[in-house]
Amino acid sequence: MRVFKVGPDFLDPMILEQASGAEVLSLDLWMVGATECQRLLFEAAAEADLILVEGAMGLFDGEPSAADLALRFDLPSVALMDARGMGQTFGALALGLATRRPGLQLAGVVANRVGSDRHREMLSAGLPEGLALLAGLPRLDDAALPSRHLGLVQAAEIADLERRLDAAADALAGTALASLLLEVAFQGPRTQPEAPALLGGHRIAIAQDAAFSFLYPENLRLLEALGAELAFFSPLADSGVQADAVYLPGGYPELHLAALAANRAMHAALRSHLAAGRPVYAECGGMLYLLERLTDQSGHSADLLGLLPGQAQMQPRVAGLGMQALWLEDGEIRGHSFHHSRMITTVKPTAHGVRQHGARPGEPFYALGPLRASYLHLYFPSNPAAAARLFLP
């Protein structure tokens, strides 16, 4: 079994990986690209009998949407709908989903938060002809997943995650959804040239712990294909780092302010690394760690690395969201922005992201000697040469 996630996401794939027991990759026709999506699906079909693709938001939300992906690759879809407080309107909404886009294969619907057996019967009876109620799920408090400001709580932080997943699986057992198998044929992709060894002989240290965990597996795979040796370290727990370049991905530094501030040995190690002219590349939460000071939503502040002049304050609402492209020396590289902080710095950006939609300037990109930083989470395979240059002096 292989599971994919539509659109840019880090948190949902952590849960899906725990549930499926396999790596979960992103599918997005804009960020990942149709050709790469085709390759990923084709490779998954060669090793798995069952492929599931979790959508993003609603079926038609976003550009491109989950429906766009389904139409592109002839994927049958199942709509999960909140049925609480609804009767015949449930069927009307299902009809709209089934008929909005010609060619979309809606294989059925799943009703969530069903109140009773009678409620389930009413929902089923109200569906249009040819559209089946594949499952009617009651409210499952035992299976609910906790969330915070960026989405779901990370899988590693949910102590009873297996129990919650088992509760969801038990509720689905015996339903028509549990036995739904629909055949799909995926065409093989065009042969890709091998990635040049632009990072041959380079050791890249990547922060990975509870504070920094927003990593695309595809990014790590590409760095290795470019010849890099990858090593992982914890800014929370480790006292040093030895590498040719450092990668500080996004995450939740605001939830670990005290520990990050207290690890002065790591501060010194990263300052020495940068002073020696070795690159540091930081994304979103990783960039916040570089600042002089960070303040969380409760008003608690901490002094951090001070490698990037400035400070940031967590906000109660989303401060940046959406797909963006960044034009660097080696061309366009794509990614996305999603953060709840506002940053003030005296450093002038060397570039700005270009929004997929809208004319406003996107996220600033900072280059201060061998330090490169932005709120953007970049998808490295969209431009391997540009990705490699982030880690070169």
Catalytic residues: 284
Find out whether 56 and 9 touch, Cβ atoms under 8 Å: yes
Partnered with residue 245 across adjacent β-strands are 204
| Residue in the structure block whose two tokens are 């280059």 | 367
SS3 content of the chain, % helix, strand, coil (to 5): 30, 30, 40
Determine the 3-state secondary structure of 164 from DSSP. Answer: helix
Kindly state the tokens that stand for 137: 């799920």
Tell how strand 371-374 and strand 361-368 pair up.
antiparallel
Q: Which residues contact 279 (CB under 8 A, 6 or more apart)?
A: 244, 245, 246, 370, 371, 372, 390, 391, 392, 393
Residue of 22, 26, 1 lying closest to 379 (CA atoms): 26
| Residue in the structure block whose two tokens are 């005296």 | 346
Q: Which residues contact 18 (CB under 8 A, 6 or more apart)?
A: 155, 161, 162, 165
- The rounded distance, in Å, linking the Cα atoms of 263 and 66 is 43
- The rounded distance, in Å, linking the Cα atoms of 6 and 41 is 12
* DSSP letter string, 126-156: TSPTT--EEEE----GGG---EETTEEPPGG
Chain length of the chain: 393
